[in-house]
Amino acid sequence: MSFPRYSEYKDTEINWIAQIPTGWQIASLSKLFSIKAGGDVNTDVFSETRTHDRPFPIYTNANNPNIVYGYTSKAKYGPNCITVSGRGYVGFAAFRDHIFDAIIRLLVLTPKKDLNCKFFEYFINEVVDFREESSAIGQLSTNQIAPYKVAFPDCREQSKITHFLDHETAKIDTLIHEQKRLIELLKEKRQAVISHAVTKGLDPDVPIKDSGVEWLGDVPAHWGVATIRRFAKAVRTGGTPSLEMPNSEIADGINWFTPGDFNGSLMLHESEKQLRISSISSGDAKLFPGGSVLVVGIGATLGKVAKVDDDFSANQQINVIVPGKRINGHFLVYSLSAQKSQMRFVSNASTIGIMNQEKTKDIVLVLPPVEEQTQITESLDRGVQNLDQLVIKAASGILLLKERRSALISAAVTGKIDVRDWQPPADESTFDKEMRQAEIKVTA
């Protein structure tokens, strides 16, 4: 999709916009808007939820326009304003078309004349970078943004540009949502494929038996059912050295894994921080053998698992299972990845669960013969890799769509394209076809 340019442009004195269309203006935000900062909440008229008596939202600093701090009966600001985050997500702008109030550090821009505030929301979010103006502690004040200059046409043209962008970004946002949903479905399918393979096997006609475990159901008749303590060589817990802390500056050190190193892959290759070999030889840190399986034993990431091929160390939040002769470590990590809900149950997790060594040993798994374990893992490697590639492709598609969205907004609000004569197309299939040709659409 291509758009015409304006017939004439003029130079500006702004280094981030070299030229604007003839007829457009440049002005500081303080010339166009009254800029105020939100304040402390009046608890006498405050409610955490919307009520009949307290219907007006109190917006907070966030990168989502719909996040509210609470509700009030007395609001200071009316419709057709812009809020700009002054803390946290510094510079995020949101158009407000209703009565509202603002929490401390949230900046409110009220137009001094006839302006389309939605146009300036687009402009601020895509063109302005307030981070350069924010303080060292990541805050933005009214005085800091007041002199910032923006480019704009007359109000009628602002509205045309806004109408164009609302229409086009809505289509792109729909495609982004579809891609995100596709990723969710692919991840669900990935988990289902793993779970079926490690509990039912590859042969759909194999004789089955009752496993004796309610949540597990039927399993192949020739498979065993046992807790980890029955087939693991050891279950140990990592630790933090007392003499020298691990860090990211150590060259040729020993990998020291923490929950933060778990990235969704079932194989870990490198940790953010390393240990000196001397920490191992002095006994100040623990060394675990390659081929072991790591299980996060505490916190929000409880139950995440991964296998490490080389010798390594880990912190005290991680339990390490050293496989015995009866189980393939690769099969073990697949099996555990399918049992995250069981691990949370065994840990008695409510808000912050704890999976210690003993609870890890009590996890129940099904155990095929070692040769069959190898067949299953080889099949899973192929199937999971295909699904992972589809996820990567869909994620890449989302990035392309976001880049297209950003470029379109920037071009429209700075006058690089002329959309004054634009009309919504009667047939939207052209847009979808362009996305497909760009390999943005992905199907499972």
Residue 318, domain CATH: 3.90.220.20
Round to whole Å and give the CA distance between 18 and 153.
16
321 and 247: one domain?
yes
Round to whole Å and give the CA distance between 271 and 285.
15
238 and 348: one domain?
yes
Q: Are 176 and 185 in contact (CB under 8 A)?
A: no
Cα dihedral angle (93, 99, 101, 102), rounded to 10 degrees? Answer: 0
238 and 346: one domain?
yes
278 and 340: one domain?
yes
266 and 165: one domain?
no
Q: Are strands 56-59 and 101-102 parallel, antiparallel or unpaired?
A: parallel
232 and 336: one domain?
yes
- Digit-by-digit pLDDT tens for the chain (444 residues) are 689 999 999 999 887 888 999 999 999 999 999 999 998 989 899 999 999 999 999 999 999 999 999 999 999 999 999 999 998 889 999 999 999 999 998 999 999 999 999 999 999 999 988 765 555 557 889 999 999 999 999 999 999 999 999 999 999 999 999 999 999 999 999 999 999 999 999 999 999 999 998 888 999 999 999 999 999 999 999 999 887 888 888 878 899 999 999 998 999 999 999 998 888 888 888 999 999 999 999 888 888 999 999 999 999 999 999 999 999 999 999 999 998 777 766 666 555 678 889 999 999 999 999 999 999 999 999 999 999 999 999 999 999 999 999 999 999 999 999 999 999 887 766 555 555 544 443 333
Cα dist from 409 to 1, 67, 244, 397, 403, whole Å: 14, 23, 51, 18, 10
Q: How many domains does the chain have?
A: 2
Q: Are 154 and 27 in contact (CB under 8 A)?
A: no
22 and 108: one domain?
yes
Tell me which residue range forms the domain holding 277.
224-367
41 and 104: one domain?
yes
Please give the structure tokens belonging to residue 400: 């392309």
pTM for this model (two decimals): 0.82
147 and 231: one domain?
no
419 and 281: one domain?
no
Asked, for residue 395, whether it belongs to a domain, the answer is no
Cite the DSSP H helix spans in 326-369. Answer: 329-337, 340-346, 357-361
Asked, for residue 156, whether it belongs to a domain, the answer is yes
Q: Which of 367, 384, 413 is the last residue of a domain?
A: 367
247 and 348: one domain?
yes
Cα dist from 280 to 235, 238, 256, 285, 393, whole Å: 19, 12, 11, 5, 41
Q: Which of 367, 391, 409 is the last residue of a domain?
A: 367
